[in-house]
């Protein structure tokens, strides 16, 4: 695989992961009640703990996306590939 293909792969992976992050955020905000009741029953978590769990999930996903997809893509773009 050459650097141009890797740059394109990382770019599309970044777009897909950022889209999934935005979709997850919107769904958690819009369907908070339904998701909270489902997850509290499914994972036996107290309802008061769920907002922290959601925030932790979104924060970790965002950091991983930035570190493993967006930053390498930008570095390759700066290098001219």
**What digits encode the pLDDT tens for the residues 45-54?**
898 899 999 9
Torsion of CA 6, 10, 13, 17, to 10 degrees: 160
Give CA–CA dist 21/23, Å, rounded.
Answer: 5
pLDDT at 16 over 80: yes
Domain range summary for the chain, segments of one domain joined by +: 3-76
- What was the pLDDT predicted at 47? 86
Cα(54)–Cα(24) distance, integer angstroms: 10
Residue 53: the pLDDT is: 92
Q: Is the pLDDT of residue 81 over 80?
A: no
Is residue 69's pLDDT more than 90? yes
For range 14-26, the mean pLDDT: 98
């Amino acid at each position: 695989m050459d650097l141009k293909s890797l740059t394109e792969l990382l770019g599309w992976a970044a777009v897909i992961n950022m889209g999934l992050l935005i979709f997850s955020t919107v769904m958690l905000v819009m369907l908070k009640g339904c998701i909270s009741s489902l997850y509290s029953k499914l994972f036996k978590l107290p309802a008061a703990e769920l907002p922290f769990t959601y925030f932790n999930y979104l924060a970790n996903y965002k950091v991983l996306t930035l570190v493993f997809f967006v930053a390498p893509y930008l570095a390759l773009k700066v290098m001219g590939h």
